[in-house]
Amino acid sequence: MNYKDYDIANFITDEFFIQWIKSPNENNSHFWEKWMAQHPEKRAMVNEAANLIRSVKYAHSPEFTDKMYVETFEQILKADNEHSSVKNSKPTPISSSSKGSFLFFIPLRGIAASVLVLFCLWAQYEAFNYRPEPVEKAEIPLIKRSNLAGQKSIIDLPDGTRIHLNSESEIEFPKEFSADFRLVRLKGEAFFEVKKEQRPFLVESGSTKIRVLGTSFNVRQKTNEPLYVALVTGKVRVDAVNGDQVILNPDEMLVMEKDGKFSKTGFDPMDVTGWKDNYLVFKSAKFSEVKKKLELWYGVNITFKGNPDKDWTYSGVYKDEMLENVLRGVCMTSGMTFKIDKKQITITNPK
pTM: 0.61
Residue 304 lies in a domain: yes
Residues 153 and 255 placed together within one structural domain of the fold: yes
pLDDT band, residue 64 (cuts 50/70/90): very low
User: Are 181 and 253 members of one domain?
Assistant: yes
User: Is 48 in the same domain as 162?
Assistant: no
Average pLDDT over residues 15-33: 82
Whether residue 208 is contained in a domain is answered as yes
Q: Is residue 60 part of a domain?
A: no
pLDDT on residue 171: 95
Residues 198 and 310 both lie in one domain: no
208 and 109 belong to one structural domain:
no
Q: Of 129, 156, 184, at which residue does a domain stop?
A: 129
320 located within any domain: yes
- Domain containing residue 237: CATH number: 2.60.120.1440
- Phi/psi of residue 11, each to 5°? -65, -45
Give the domain range for residue 220: 142-269
CB 203 within 8 A of CB 210: yes
Question: Within this chain, do residues 285 and 256 fall inside the same structural domain, yes or no?
Answer: no
pLDDT bin (cut points 50, 70, 90) of residue 62 is very low
Whether residues 259 and 151 fall in one domain: yes
Q: Does residue 134 lie within any of the structural domains? A: no
Q: Provide, rounded to the nearest whole percent, the portion of the chain with pLDDT above 90.
A: 40
Query: Residue 147 falls within a domain, yes or no?
Result: yes
Residues 265 and 146 grouped into a single domain: yes
Q: Into how many domains does the chain fold?
A: 4
In the chain, the percentage of residues whose pLDDT exceeds 70 is: 76
pLDDT given for residue 230 in this prediction = 96
